[in-house]
Amino acid sequence: MTLTFRESLPPDDHRGRAHPAPPTVVAPPREPAGRRRDPALDLLRFACLVVVVILHSMMSAAVLGPDGAVVPTVALSDTTGFAAASWLFQVMPLFFIIGGASGFFAWRRIRASGGTWADYLRARLRRLVAPVTVLIALAGIGLSAAAEIGVPTELITEASHRIGQPLWFLAVYVGLTALVPVAVHVHDTAPRRALAVLAGAVIVVDVLVAVTGVSGLGYLNFLLVWPLIQQLGFFCAEALDRPVRRSLVWPVLAAALLALAGLVASGVYSPNMLINLNPPTGALVLLGVVQMCGLRLLHARLNRALTAGGGAATEAVTEAAAEPRILRAQIWRRVIAWGNRYGMEVYLWHMSVVIVLIGELGALAQTVSGLRSAAGPGIAEFVLPEIGSAWWWATRPVWLLAVMLLSALLAMAVNRIPFPTEQRLTAIGRHIPVLGPRARAVTAVGAATTGIAIALLVGIAPLGWTLTAVLLLMGALILAAGLSDRPGVSAPSVGSSRRSL
């Protein structure tokens, strides 16, 4: 397979006119024709983001220090049963498996239409980078304004790091997305060998960490674990339309789960799957295999439930659609459509919502800290209850509801913020003639990853770091937009390019 940058993706035409396919791109025989969006994968991907939002919201808290200052803290991590529960809410492997499958289908569709790596990269970078650019710009301005009105520097720094913390996955995801065409080529050429090489490398890194005691070596697994899990997504994508071989899937699931349990019991890996996330370890690979098998077993049934009645949901529900099964499918299709459009923004902005809510509660607790209720305890303890207390647990449903609702409203609001159009960025990008298409693509991915990494590792305060990250991200979008050298060819429109992964 030859990966080219110069051939362009034909423009969409919804009126049925045929376009001749460029003769320079030939799909391999095993390649399927394009595949429509998979509702089960879309729903599960959105569900993964919701689980992460709930987890972050539950673990974010604050207390009043002895001097009355608001002290941000982490909740639940020392709670009995947290490590066991982490086996259920650690959904990042599943997310990357679904991302691998989606990237697999997207690249197949582009190739089937005569498109190139440049077309794929241009569209995918815009979908991923535009929303995070808006986040970093607005959050940076907001934190700078908070510093000007007297918010303590310690709280500004903490908020800056907390807002940037969820971006680690996006930095990895951008890199993996850019390499999907190469990774799919490797999968097509030697699928089992690719898995074996990556899995062996992960084992080597884990052994080196265990033998040397140098935990920093584990960060090499960022380059190995997630590409390996993405490869699992390719296998999953190819198998989705085939009958489920339960006699194979169940033994693989059981073997991976028993292997993970054995390695945890022997002390090789931590029982806490959040600890195995940073840096990533082979435990996540085994957990990913378990989750992939579960997806394989449930996928067809879930898709049947989501497509009951066929077609998209309509505003008017006819008598034929009154059957509960069809009504449920219509509701879930609306949820999926909403998640595809706003899910990324919900994930990106939920920590900003959490920080603002904690700040408001902290300010209220400070205001009433000197007051006493009739029952005796300070009213401040009702505003900021002791973590793990009965009152703290009783207030969690309301807390989660507030975070989810405000995050959803904020996601819909920021999604409508005007952003430079693809055509404008393309016009700017074409005035950078120094870089060839391959160098332009590599530089765009590098700039995007670096901009996200700054927000993740350094934070977005003071404002100088915000401007640096935003300039890198905008530079990445300009370079990516300039990959198209054929007039009239562009990535998806601004709306669609900021509404889904």
Give the pTM: 0.84
- What is the pLDDT, as a whole number, of residue 362? 87
State the average pLDDT over residues 297-322.
67
pLDDT at 447 over 70: yes
pLDDT digits (tens, 9 = 90+) for 197-209: 999 999 999 999 9
pLDDT at 52 over 70: yes
- What is the pLDDT, as a whole number, of residue 338? 96
Range of 1-15, 43-57, 298-312, 382-396 with top mean pLDDT = 43-57
pLDDT digits (tens, 9 = 90+) for 227-285: 999 999 999 999 988 899 999 999 999 999 999 999 999 999 999 999 999 899 999 99
CA–CA dist 405, 207 (Å, integer)? 44
- What is the pLDDT, as a whole number, of residue 500? 41
pLDDT at 381 over 90: no
Q: 20 CB contacts (<8 Å, ≥6 apart)?
A: none
CA 437 to chain centre: 27
Q: Nearest Cα to 402, choosing from 18, 64, 53, 149?
A: 53
- What is the pLDDT, as a whole number, of residue 124? 87
Q: Nearest Cα to 195, choosing from 146, 152, 233, 140?
A: 233
Q: How many helices (H) and strands (E) does the chain have?
A: 18, 2
Q: What are phi and psi of 330, to 5 degrees?
A: -65, -40
Range of 20-29, 318-327, 360-369 with top mean pLDDT = 360-369
CA–CA dist 147, 138 (Å, integer)? 14
Would you place residue 5 in the very low, low, confident or very high pLDDT band (cuts 50, 70, 90)?
very low
User: Per mean pLDDT, which range of 238-242, 284-288, 494-498 is the poorest?
Assistant: 494-498
Mean pLDDT value across the chain:
84
State the average pLDDT over residues 213-232.
94
Would you place residue 484 in the very low, low, confident or very high pLDDT band (cuts 50, 70, 90)?
low
pLDDT at 356 over 70: yes
Would you place residue 386 in the very low, low, confident or very high pLDDT band (cuts 50, 70, 90)?
confident
- What is the pLDDT, as a whole number, of residue 54? 95
Structure tokens at 340: 């595809």
State the average pLDDT over residues 64-69.
79
State the average pLDDT over residues 143-158.
87
- What is the pLDDT, as a whole number, of residue 377? 52
User: Per mean pLDDT, which range of 184-193, 378-387, 449-458 is the poorest?
Assistant: 378-387
Q: Are 448 and 473 in contact (CB under 8 A)?
A: yes
Q: What is the DSSP string of 342-381?
A: HHHHHHHHHHHHHHHHHHHHHHHHHHHTT-B-TTSSBTHH
State the average pLDDT over residues 474-495.
63
- What is the pLDDT, as a whole number, of residue 486? 45
